[in-house]
Amino acid sequence: MGLTVLGIGSRYSRDDQIGLILVDALARKTSRPNLWLRLLEEADFATIATELLTMTTDVLLVDCADMGAAAGNFRLLCAHQARYTIRTGVTSTHGFGLGDALALADLLGHVLPVRIFAIQPFDISLGASLSPRMKAAFPMLLKALDLTVCEMIKP
Amino acid sequence: MDGANQTFSIDVNHITRVEGHGRIKINTRDGVVEEVRLCITEANRFFENFVKGMQPEEIPWIVSRICGICCVGHQMTATKAVEAALAIEPSEQTVLLRKMLTESQFIQSHVLHVYFLAVPDFMGAMSVLPLAKSHPEVVKRALRLKKLANDYTAVLGGRMLHPMSNTLKGFRKLPERHDLEQTLDRLRAAVPDLEETVRIAQTLKMPDYERETEYVSLKHPDEYALYDGEIFSSDTQTTVPVDHYLDVTNEFTVEHSTSKWSKWHRESYFVGALARFNNNFDMLLPQAKQAAADLGLRAPCYNPYKNTLAQVVETVHCTHNSIHMLEQILQYDLTEEDLGFTFRPGRGIGSCEVPRGILFHDYTFDQSGACSKANAIIPTSQNINNIERDMRAFVPQMLPGMSQEELKLKMEMLLRAYDPCISCAVHMLEVEFVG
């Protein structure tokens, strides 16, 4: 079995890149058997769903999420804890989101556990760097992600 | 209840991220259409300003970020424009690899649009999610094709989105022979999935609507023009060089849209799969021509809803053409190329077809070596004017026999048929806690 940690986000929307940066940092810090770390930059929902369907490990998605929490905080979510926004009637492939990707993978038979390490952003406006407050929260978030991963790959 | 003699107002307030925000407004009084508008209200994204001051080699990677779906197209068009400014001539090997990269993106994008946006409408599903429940085999096929195209892009470009291998003059990292062979096998094995895609598309009942307009695309004497060519108009049946693109796009503003509009020889023009199909039908591969025949799609076609069918035809073309190109490249002993170049100040213009139509990039470099001026004109902004004119023509034609709800759906389907390219959404997960 094992665990795949998937960083998701956009490098040019400030705190939306936090998932990518955290997984990138974790990859430099950690090397464990049965642990795979991957980035999906600006991936459309079908790509995320496709990747989930081809995975043979448990999955931890690391992403920026608007969940009504205090900015800079994180939550570890699993399917029964949250209802994700599902979009219908969209006019463009850009209109779908991660909630749709999870729902699609689920409908098509993805059965392995998926959890989400979700981080509430401060600022998702256009820009190449994290907001100063997210930068300040970064060490805490990396430590928390590392601990979460350790917990999840425990035999 | 049909629309004859009705007074009503349809306001689709968020047509979901046409450059972030857009809306369709329709007002009728006593069965007479008073107003049909496609309003684009999103602010500019200023990519042309971001690249000012940047070095030539940085630009293609930066502007790839304009779009998460058309990233290859923006990168390729920028590469060509910058190379034109610096008088760089890429090798035959590089051009072939770029053409493959370009076509991998066409397969990715068209499969996504046809299966995930168009097909659900015609199968009576609200979106792809109910379709996945009622027709899982259809959606699984779509994901298989999408995965194949994603991996094809990654083999050539280093990753499936925003590829990094392509750069000025060549490729920083060449694809591995083994990966190319495997991709060739997978593309050959995908032919039954393509045939099934055509079969499904045959069942889609397109609204019976036609409006002849000007169709604009690249045209090339030797191939179905996607990577290269001159700008062709169906009105004049002639081409103009890509350097004259400003005489083609003639951008102007209208009060209800922050997106600029375009027009060339008449009030508006159409870019995208249907324009390419109409202008370049003769250059399609036989398998794609057969797919068009099976779909009953003949050039010229004036029904914008059938842009989706043209995308299916192009998917068949790109897959078979990719098989040919892979067979060809496997004959080569791919060689690492010298990517060094000498800088010179100047201006360069590049154009490629991207899934949604013709794309132009234009860069000027000053004596310091930095970019001093940039311009990018994307297909959707060229199409907006034509989309609204289609809506204006469609509504009075259909109003007498169509309910308000039906009309609203058909308007959304019309917009979807153009597959509008939208400023990439922030990948935010919206969560509502229930426990």
What pLDDT, on the 0 to 100 scale, is given for residue B43? 57
What integer pLDDT is reported at residue B362 of this predicted model?
Answer: 96
- Judged by CB atoms closer than 8 Å, whether chains meet at B432 and A85 is answered as yes
Which residues in A lie closer than 8 A to residue B150 (C-beta atoms)? 47, 50
Taking CA–CA distances from A64, the nearest residue in chain B reads B428
CB contact under 8 A, A107 and B136: yes
> For residues B230 and B228, what is the distance between their CA atoms, to the nearest angstrom?
7
Contacts of B419 in chain A (CB under 8 A): 92-93
Give yes or no for a contact between B300 and B234, defined as CB atoms under 8 angstroms apart. Answer: yes
| Tens-digit pLDDT profile for residues B346-362 | 999 999 999 999 999 99
Nearest Cβ partner of B16 from A47, A90, A124? Answer: A90
Torsion angle (degrees, nearest 10) of CA A98, A100, A105, A109: 150
Residue B358's closest CA among B65, B70, B64? B70
Report pLDDT digits (tens) over B216-231. Answer: 999 999 999 999 999 9
Whole-Å CA distances, A125 to A9, A14, A87, A122, B323: 13, 6, 22, 9, 42
- Per-residue pLDDT, B309: 98
* Calpha distance B67→B74 (Å, rounded): 8
Alpha helices, DSSP H, located in B166-285:
177-189, 191-202, 245-249, 273-280
Is the confidence at residue B188, as pLDDT, over 70? yes
Looking at residue B5, its pLDDT comes to 59
State whether B412 and A91 contact (CB < 8 Å). yes
Tokens of A139: 């060490």
More confident residue, B424 or A83: A83
Prediction pTM value:
0.87
Q: Quick one: tokens of B267?
A: 């009030």
Q: Which is more confident, B314 or A104?
A: B314
Helix axes A45-54, B136-157, angle to 10 degrees: 100
Q: What are the Cα distances from residue B262, in Å, to A95, B356, B380, B422?
A: 25, 15, 10, 17
pLDDT at site B6: 63
Question: What average pLDDT does the segment B301-315 reach?
Answer: 97
How many beta-carbon pairs below 8 A join chains A and B?
177
A107 closest CB neighbour out of B132, B419, B432: B132
Over residues B365-383, the mean pLDDT reads 92
Percent helix, strand and coil across chain A, each rounded to 5?
40, 25, 35
Contacts of A83 in chain B (CB under 8 A): 431-434
Q: Give CA–CA dist B421/B416, Å, rounded.
A: 10
Count CB-CB contacts under 10 A for residue B202.
13
> Which residues in A lie closer than 8 A to residue B427 (C-beta atoms)?
8-10, 13, 16, 42-43, 63-64, 97-98
Percent of chain B with pLDDT over 70: 90
Which residues of chain A neighbour B127 with C-beta distances below 8 Å?
A: 86-90, 100
How far apart are the two ends of chain A, measured CA to CA in Å?
10
- Contact criterion met (CB < 8 Å) for B162 and A42: yes
Longest Cα–Cα distance in chain B: 71
Which chain B residues touch A50 with a CB distance below 8 Å?
143, 146-147, 150
Q: How confident is the model at residue B44 (pLDDT cuts 50, 70, 90)?
A: low
Going from the C-alpha of B46 to that of each of B43, B49, B51, B52, B103, the distances in angstroms are 9, 5, 9, 10, 28
Smallest Cβ distance to A98: which of B116, B429, B434? B429
Quick check: B48 pLDDT over 90? no
Higher pLDDT, B141 or B127: B141
> Which pLDDT belongs to residue B267?
96
| Amino acid B403: pLDDT | 82
Task: Provide the pairing of β-strand B429-433 with A58-66.
Answer: parallel
Q: Which of B106-110, B126-130, B231-235 has the lowest mean pLDDT?
A: B126-130
Q: Lowest mean pLDDT: which of A36-45, B5-14, B41-50?
A: B5-14
Give the pLDDT score at A81: 65
Average per-residue pLDDT for chain B: 88
Pairing of strands B22-29, B32-40: antiparallel
The answer to whether the complex's ipTM is over 0.95 is no
CA distance A31 to chain B (A): 22
